[in-house]
Structure 1
C-alpha cells in the first residue's frame, strides 16, 4: 500500500524511473532499435471500484503517475487506461486470489503492445484453444482456507518453437522444478511462419510475461520471427548489442517498481546460478545459451 501514499520518496522513485526509461530509449535509438516499456498494473490500480472501502488513493498509483510523466514519450505505453476501460467486461482481467493478470487481461495488453509497435496480431490469436482448471493461486496459498479459482490458459504455441534454453532454466527443467525458476530464466523462440512479423524482439520481463508460452512471451512468439525472453528487471546491454534486436521491450509488474534497476544484469552469469553439477555438462556461449559439450 506504500505505493499509493505518495510523498517525497515515491516522487523521487518515479523520477528515477522516468529518467531511466528515457535513457534506455536514447541508447536503444542510437543502436537502431525501437524501445518500449510497459507496466502491468496492480489489481488495486485497475479495480478500485471493487475494494469495499479499503482506504488507499488509487489516483497515486505508480502507473497513473508515470503515464502522466511520460504521456507523449514513444518509449512508454500506458496499460492502466485500457485495462480500467475493460474492467467491467464479462471476462475478469485478474483473479481474486492471484497477483497476475488473466489470459484475457494479458491478451488485451498484447493487442495494445502490437498496436504501439505497428504489428498485426495473427487473426486467430484470441481464438486459440485453451485449458481450464481449478487452481490455488499465489495469494490463495497465503490464506488458511486455500481457495481454488477457475484458471483459463491459452494453448498458444503453434508456429513458434523454443530453440534455445539458458542453462539455469534447463537445469531446473531437467529436475522437474521449473516452477521455482525466476530471475535468470532465459529462452529464445523462433517462428518460421510466413505471416510472422520479420522483426527480432528481445523482452526483459517477469512472471506476467513468463518463459513458457502461455502469457505475453507466448503471444509475442506467435507474432514475431524471433523472441528472446530474459527474466530480469535490469537490462544486459552487452547481450542486447550482440543480439541486435529490432525491438527492445521491457515489462514489469507495478509492485516491482519499488526498486530501480541498475541495468548491470549479465544473462550468462545469471544463467549459471544454482545449476550445480549440470554446468559441468553444459557450456555457455557468449549469449548465455546452453551448449552441449563436444
Structure 2
C-alpha cells in the first residue's frame, strides 16, 4: 500500500481512473488503525453535536458523505491492494446507524452501480447526474421531501472534456459525459460579491471555499421549506449537480462552499433544514465550525484555498 500511495491516480479496468494519493492520502484511509478509529469517533461526536445544536434551534440536521469511487466501484479497480469495506464513510455510517439525520450514500450507490448508466465519470473524481440523483433521493427521504416527478426527464446533452483525474496523466484521456439541464423553475436570487467577481472575470472554475449563493423556486409544486447546504464541488454554487436538484425541490436553497458550518449564518437564516455534504477524502480533517460567511463576501479577494490544499488536522 505504501508504494501505491506514492501514486496519485490508479488506472483500473476499461479506462476507469481512481484517485488514490495526493494531499489527502486517499488510499491510506482504507486501512485499520487506532488513530483512524479515534479520528472517526471525533467525527461522530461532531456530527451528533451539530445535530443537537440544530435541533435546539428547531432545525432538522442532515449529514452525508459523498463516497470516493474506490468505495463504490472497487470491482473496476485492477490489482489494487485495499478493502472497500474499510471505506471511512462506511465505517462512519456504522457508528451513526441509529441517527436518522445521517444519510449513508455508500449503500444506495453500490446497489445501483451495475445499472445501465455509470454513477461516476470514468476519468473524473465526481459523480454523474445519475449518481447524484441516486444520492439526492436518499437525502430527500431523510428530509421528508420528494423531487419534482419529472426531474429524471430533464433535457440531457453530451459534453466532451478533460476531467480532473485524466488531467493528471501524461496521455490526458478525454471523456464524453452526459450532463442534465436540471435547472428550470428555480433561479439564483443572490450571489456574493466574490462569486460575481469571479464570474465576471471568467474565473468561476477557480472559485471554491467561500462561494455563497441563494436560489428561490416560485413553483407551486416546490416544497415550501428553506434548506441551507454547506458543501463542496459535488453540490457546487452553480446550478448543477446536487445544488440543481435541491433548488428544483425546495422553495429556497442556500449554498455555502465550506466544510465548517457558520452557526451565526444558520441562526440568522433559521432554515427548516441544515444539510452538510462533503467528499469522503476530506474526512482526514475535523472542521472547527468557525466559518464566517461574511468574511468571504468581498469582491477581488485573493483566491480562497481549496480544502484539499489545507494542512490535515489529523
Q: Please give the TM-score of this superposition, normalised by the length of structure 2.
A: 0.86
1:141-171, Cα deviation, whole Å (9 max, x unpaired): 1011111111111111111010100111111
TM superposition shift of 1:270:
2.4
TM superposition shift of 1:63:
1.0
Map 1:59-138; keep pairs closer than 5 Å: 59-138=85-164
**Corresponding residue for residue 13 of structure 2:** none
**Gap runs ≥5 in structure 2:** 1-26, 303-314
1:211-262, Cα deviation, whole Å (9 max, x unpaired): 1112001100000000000000000000000000000000000001111100
Q: Matched residues in 2 for 1:62 and 1:274: separation?
A: 37
Matching of residue 244 in structure 1 with residue 303 in structure 2 = no
Matching of residue 208 in structure 1 with residue 237 in structure 2 = no
TM superposition shift of 1:268:
0.8
TM superposition shift of 1:271:
3.0
Q: Please give the TM-score of this superposition, normalised by the length of structure 1.
A: 0.92
TM superposition shift of 1:274:
4.5
Out of 51, 54, 60, the residue aligned to residue 34 of structure 1 is: 60
Range with bigger deviation, 44-53 or 197-206: 44-53
CA RMSD of aligned residues (A): 1.0
**Gap runs ≥5 in structure 1:** 277-294
Q: Matched residues in 1 for 2:297 and 2:29: separation?
A: 31
Map 1:1-294; keep pairs closer than 5 Å: 1-272=27-298, 274-275=300-301
TM superposition shift of 1:139:
0.5
TM superposition shift of 1:273:
7.2
Q: Matched residues in 2 for 1:248 and 1:45: separation?
A: 26
- Between the two proteins, the alignment pairs up a number of residues equal to 276
Q: Matched residues in 1 for 2:301 and 2:157: separation?
A: 31
